[in-house]
Amino acid sequence: MLYKGSAPASEPEVAALKKLLEGLYGTYSVETSTPAPKDRNGTYIHLHSYSNLVLYPYGFDNSAKVPNSDALRAGAFRQSHGNDYATGAPGDVLYNASGGDFDWVYRKLGVPGYVYEIGTGEEGGFFPGFQRADNYWKKVGPASASLPRPRTSRTPPRSAEPSPSSRLNVRTTVRSP
């Protein structure tokens, strides 16, 4: 999500994600002198391709002051331990990019936000094949397993059988390039 739109949350997909995340985490505005509280629960991870990086806020300007910078940086390095991903703010290891969701999640919700840039050019670059998902998960799964989760679950209860109206028939065709 790097297209920032014509206004904040102007795109329907972004508006839906915003509503979901605000419902899950609530809001807490982080300012330059008001860091997120240490007991703020949850962590946000955005998987993106490609480069094998773990990025932390701020992405829009690496010279912007991040109140919890030491904690965010330490969290990012814990996540890159064992997978050899380069780690840093986007402007330090890649380039500045405005409109990133992980900046918004940190700044408006007070939740640590990270981006995993996964894969290499040899693994499909920006369009890796789905068959690579298991390999990527072996690298990012263990790192993300130790991160704080939201304290409450908003998962709806499961019924024994889906209702006929909730069933979805999907036909897929996989073609090799």
Q: Which entry of 13, 22, 31, 117 is annotated as an active-site residue? A: 117
Confidence of residue 157 (pLDDT cuts 50, 70, 90): very low
Confidence of residue 62 (pLDDT cuts 50, 70, 90): confident
Q: Which residue has the higher pLDDT, 82 or 87?
A: 87
Tell me the mean pLDDT in the region 19-39: 83
- pLDDT at position 22 is 92
Three-state secondary structure call for residue 79 = helix
Confidence of residue 119 (pLDDT cuts 50, 70, 90): confident
Tokens of 117: 């840039």
pLDDT at 24 over 50: yes
C-alpha closest to that of 83 among 146, 147, 149, 141: 141
Contact 159, 99 (CB under 8 A): no
Q: Is 117 assigned a catalytic role?
A: yes
CATH code that applies to domain 12-166: 3.40.630.10
Tokens of 142: 């263990």
CA distance 174 to 59: 36
pTM of the entire predicted model: 0.72
Segments making up each domain of the chain, as ranges:
12-166
- pLDDT at position 167 is 46
